[in-house]
Amino acid sequence: MDDAMGDGLRQLVQEPSTDEIDAALRSVERRARRRDHAVAAAAIAGVVVVAGGAWVGFAAVDGPDVSTAVGPSASTTTSDAVAGVGSIPTSLPARRSDARQVQDEVNEFWQGLPNPDLVRSTGIRTADDGEEIVVVALRADASQLAEEIHARWGPDVLIELGYHNYPEGTPGDASCPQIETGEAIPGLEARLELDDGGVVASGADIRGRVVLTNTTDREINFAPTSAPVGYVVEPGSDEVLGVTLQAFAAPLVTYSAPPHGSTEMGIFVGTTACQPASATPGLPPGEYEVLVAQNDRGADPSASEVHLVTARAPLTVE
C-alpha cells in the first residue's frame, strides 16, 4: 500500500515544468523588487511631512527622485521641508518605513483578535547595524498566536513569548524582581484572595484582591507606590519565579480602611517565567505561592521608612 499510495499520489500531481519554474522565479524576483521599491517610495514620502512646523519625518539622500511636491502642501518640496528644520538625520534608516508599516499591520491584527490580552505590546527595535524590526511581546501562553504571527510576517517580526524568543525557544532577557523589605503598617491586616480558586494555566494571568482590614479605632490610609501586582514565588520563600508582563500606569490611588472596617485592593498576577534559565515561557505546572508586597511611603515619597502590605495565597499552575 505504501508504494502504491506514493505512486498514486505522484501520478495525481505532476511537478511544474522547467518553463513554469523559470517563470515563477522571475515572478518572485519581480514581486520582491516591486515591494522593495514601494517601501523605498513610502520612506521617501515620509521626508516631506511637516505638521504644524514640527518635523515628523526623516531626511533621505538616496533613492528615487523626490523633487516633486508631496505631502500636506502642494508647494512643499523636500528642500522646503528640510530647510530650517535644524538637525535632521542625513541618511534614511533602510527599513524604517517598512518596519512601521509592518507594525501598523500587526497592530491592526491585534485589534481584531478575539483575545487581545494575549498581546502585551508592539514596538520597533533598532539593531546594531541600524536595521529596524518590529517586536511583538506576547503573553507566555500565546504560543498559538505566536505561530500565526510568525506564519504571517516571518522574519519581519521578532516575537517574544513571555521572555522567550519564538520560534527559537531560547530564553531572552529575563530577570525576576526582588521583593522589598520593610515594616508592616501597624493595625492593618492583609489577606490575599485569588480568582478561579487560585488555579491558572501556565503562562496566563490571574486576578485577585488584597482585603485590607483595619483593627484600630482610627482610619488608615494606604497609598501604594508600585504596580498592583502579585509575584509567584516558591512556597514559603521570597524568591520570585513568575511575573506578569502586563504594563501598568503609575498607581495614584489611596485606599482608606475605616476604623474596624476593610477595603479591597485589586491585584494582577502573572505566571510568565522570569528566571533567566527558565526552560519554558510559562511556569512549569505545580504548586506555588503568590506574594503581594506593596509599599507605602505615605505623603512623603522621600521618607526613609518603608511600610509594607504583604499577603500570601497558594497558587496552582496547570
Partner 1 sequence: MDVVEFERLFRDEYPRLVRSLTLVCGDREVAADVVQDAFVQAHRHWRRVSAYDDPATWVRRVAVNRAFNHHRGVRRLWRFLDRAGRPDRQGTEPPDVAGEVDLWRAVADLPHQQRHAVALYYLADLPIAAVAAALDIQPGTVKAHLHHARAALADRLGSPTGGSQ
> What are the helix (H) ranges across the chain?
2-12, 18-45, 78-82, 96-111, 143-153
- 272/289 Cα distance (integer angstroms): 14
Does 16 sit near partner 1 (CB under 8 A)? yes
Question: Per this entry, what is the length of the chain?
Answer: 318
| Shortest Å, Cβ 139 to partner 1 | 20
| Shortest Å, Cβ 278 to partner 1 | 21
Handedness of CA 229, 230, 231, 237 (dihedral sign): positive
- Name the residue nearer to partner 1 (CB basis): 20 or 219: 20
Write out the three cell numbers for 7: 505512486
* Pairing assessment for the beta strands 240-243 and 229-233 based on DSSP bridges: antiparallel
| Shortest Å, Cβ 213 to partner 1 | 51
Residue selected from 54, 56, 74, 151 as contacting partner 1 according to rule CB under 8 A: 151
Residue selected from 80, 105, 147, 189 as contacting partner 1 according to rule CB under 8 A: 147
**Which range, of 7-15, 205-213, 230-238, 258-266, touches partner 1 by CB under 8 A?**
7-15
| Shortest Å, Cβ 173 to partner 1 | 20
Does 130 sit near partner 1 (CB under 8 A)? no
Number of residues that bind partner 1 (CB under 8 A): 34
Residue 129 is given by DSSP the state: T
Handedness of CA 279, 280, 282, 285 (dihedral sign): negative
Given a contact cutoff of 8 angstroms between Cβ atoms, the answer to whether 242 and 272 are in contact is: yes
Write out the three cell numbers for 212: 485590607
- Name the residue nearer to partner 1 (CB basis): 9 or 277: 9
Q: 198-217: which residues touch partner 1 (CB under 8 A)?
A: none
Q: 18-77: which residues touch partner 1 (CB under 8 A)?
A: 20-21, 24-25, 27-29, 31-32, 35-36
**Which range, of 63-71, 142-150, 180-188, 239-247, touches partner 1 by CB under 8 A?**
142-150
CB atoms near residue 160 (< 10 Å): 20
**Which range, of 1-9, 64-72, 190-198, 290-298, touches partner 1 by CB under 8 A?**
1-9
**Burial (CB count within 10 angstroms: exposed 0-12, middle 13-18, buried 19+), residue 69:** middle
- 203/272 Cα distance (integer angstroms): 5
| Shortest Å, Cβ 237 to partner 1 | 35
> What are the helix (H) ranges across 46-171?
78-82, 96-111, 143-153
| Shortest Å, Cβ 150 to partner 1 | 8
Does 2 sit near partner 1 (CB under 8 A)? yes
Does 13 sit near partner 1 (CB under 8 A)? yes
**Which range, of 147-155, 189-197, 202-210, 272-280, touches partner 1 by CB under 8 A?**
147-155
Given a contact cutoff of 8 angstroms between Cβ atoms, the answer to whether 25 and 54 are in contact is: no
| Shortest Å, Cβ 126 to partner 1 | 15
Does 114 sit near partner 1 (CB under 8 A)? no
Given a contact cutoff of 8 angstroms between Cβ atoms, the answer to whether 241 and 274 are in contact is: yes
Does 279 sit near partner 1 (CB under 8 A)? no
- 119/146 Cα distance (integer angstroms): 10
Q: 155-174: which residues touch partner 1 (CB under 8 A)?
A: 155-156, 167
Given a contact cutoff of 8 angstroms between Cβ atoms, the answer to whether 269 and 206 are in contact is: yes
Site residues, partner 1 (CB under 8 A): 1-6, 8-16, 20-21, 24-25, 27-29, 31-32, 35-36, 147-148, 150-151, 154-156, 167
